[in-house]
């Protein structure tokens, strides 16, 4: 899904042969789960099921159970976020020059404006099991979050999820993370929040190392089954018609949102919801993010375009380290 995929297994005191078998089995499960997710809902594959459904829009077609689950999750996220999250942003992205989604060329509204269609993201047609999307859908971030959820569920039901406290895992899909257990003893998993002021071309490496990523702005400690997701404009921003734009579209305006913000990170029990709320909070912008994050009781960290890090009280409880002094919101 256009992201690097990495699995870390904490073997604890398990013998080498047992740990090796568990790691191989876990990686097979994770790879297989993501391959199904990609074939179902990737925006980067011309032959994915979602791409085919978008091509038929507004026509109907039979769809698989995983795609129906993904569309249902996206529709629920739209309702739960009050429309701040809405996957019907393909046309708005194309209008500002982002053609990274695989889909058929459709007639688009070339003028700015909110995402059209206040009804459900998808419709069931008759009793045939056919489904239609009235407007093309980009499952993007929530799709990756769902893939992480499904992979973690599969691991929990496998040899890795035997209940042995010595076995833990962490799945990293392009910076969106779900983890379970512990990397050793009672220690939490430590997840760094990237400094969004780094240049888009920076390579991932040891913080502070030559050619490596910049020092993190904070480190989050996650325990048990938990997830962390970040929405950031560090990598996907470009020039269009003389202005800097990015891929995080506010469905309420049809334009890039998040005024005054460079990144938002959310920790939650589920990776799909962590992804949804990181985007919804980002789109509130620097002036309104605190109120929404507090109202939802979210563990959230955000970096303003000027470099200032802020966080909610819930986030401070999960913060293991912070660069400088962070404000309490």
Residue 242 maps to a domain: yes
Residue 32 maps to a domain: no
Residue 287 maps to a domain: yes
Q: What is the extent of the structural domain holding 287?
A: 174-328
pLDDT of residue 202: 42
pLDDT of residue 3: 86
Residue 8 maps to a domain: no
Residue 50 maps to a domain: no
Cβ neighbourhood burial of 261 (10 Å; 0-12, 13-18, 19+): buried
Cβ 130 vs Cβ 61: under 8 Å? yes
Please list the alpha-helical segments (H only) found in 81-132: 90-95
Tokens standing for residue 15: 């013998």
Per-residue pLDDT reduced to its tens digit, 188-222: 999 999 999 865 444 333 334 344 556 899 999 99
Per-residue pLDDT reduced to its tens digit, 283-323: 999 999 999 999 999 999 999 999 999 999 999 999 999 98
What does the alpha-carbon distance between residue 51 and residue 45 come to, in Å, rounded to a whole number? 7
Residue 83 maps to a domain: no
pLDDT of residue 211: 46
Residues 6+ apart with CB under 8 A from 210: none
Residue 42 maps to a domain: no
Residue 237 maps to a domain: yes
Cβ 143 vs Cβ 37: under 8 Å? yes
Domain count, the chain: 1
149 by DSSP, 3-state: which? helix
Neighbours of 119 (CB within 10 A): 9
147-179 exposure pattern, b = at least 16 Cβ within 10 A, e = fewer: bbbbbbebbeeebbbeeeeebbbbbbbebbbbb
Q: What is the 3-state secondary structure (H, E, C) of 165-211?
A: CCCEEEEEECCEEEEECCCECCECEEEEECCCCCCCCCCCCCCCCCC
Per-residue pLDDT reduced to its tens digit, 96-143: 887 654 444 444 444 445 555 558 899 988 777 799 999 999 998 999
CA angle 33-237-289, nearest 5°? 80
78 by DSSP, 3-state: which? helix
Residue 164 pLDDT > 90: no
Predicted confidence band of residue 161 (pLDDT cuts 50, 70, 90) = low
CATH code assigned at 275: 3.10.520.10
Percent residues over pLDDT 70 in the chain: 84
């Amino acid at each position: 899904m256009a992201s690097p995929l990495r699995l870390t297994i904490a073997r604890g005191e398990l013998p080498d042969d047992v740990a090796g078998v568990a790691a191989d089995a876990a990686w097979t499960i994770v790879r297989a789960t993501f391959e199904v997710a990609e074939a179902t809902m990737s925006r980067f594959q011309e032959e994915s099921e979602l791409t085919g459904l978008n091509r038929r829009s507004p026509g109907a077609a039979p769809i698989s159970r995983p795609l129906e689950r993904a569309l249902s999750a996206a529709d629920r996220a739209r309702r739960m976020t009050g429309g701040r999250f809405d996957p019907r942003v393909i046309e708005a992205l194309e209008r500002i020059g982002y053609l990274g989604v695989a889909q058929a060329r459709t007639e688009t509204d070339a003028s700015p404006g909110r995402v059209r269609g206040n009804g459900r993201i998808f419709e069931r047609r008759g009793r045939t099991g056919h489904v239609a999307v009235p407007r093309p859908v980009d499952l993007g971030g929530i799709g990756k979050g769902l893939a992480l959820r499904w992979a973690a569920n599969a691991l929990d039901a496998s040899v890795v999820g035997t209940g042995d406290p010595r076995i833990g895992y962490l799945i990293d899909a392009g910076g969106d993370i779900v983890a379970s257990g512990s990397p050793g003893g009672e220690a939490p998993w430590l997840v760094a929040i990237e400094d969004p002021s780094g240049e888009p071309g920076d390579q991932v490496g040891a913080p502070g190392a030559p050619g490596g990523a910049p020092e993190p702005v904070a480190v989050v400690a996650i325990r048990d089954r938990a997830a962390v997701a970040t929405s950031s404009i560090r990598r996907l921003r470009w020039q269009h018609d003389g202005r800097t734009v990015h891929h995080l579209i506010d469905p309420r305006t049809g334009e890039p949102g998040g005024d005054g913000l460079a990144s938002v990170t959310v920790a939650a029990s589920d990776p799909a919801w962590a992804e949804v709320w990181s985007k919804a909070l980002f789109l509130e912008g620097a002036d309104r993010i605190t109120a929404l994050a507090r109202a939802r009781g979210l563990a959230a960290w955000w970096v303003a375009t000027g470099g200032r890090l802020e966080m909610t009280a819930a986030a401070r409880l999960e913060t293991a380290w912070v660069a400088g002094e962070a404000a309490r919101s």
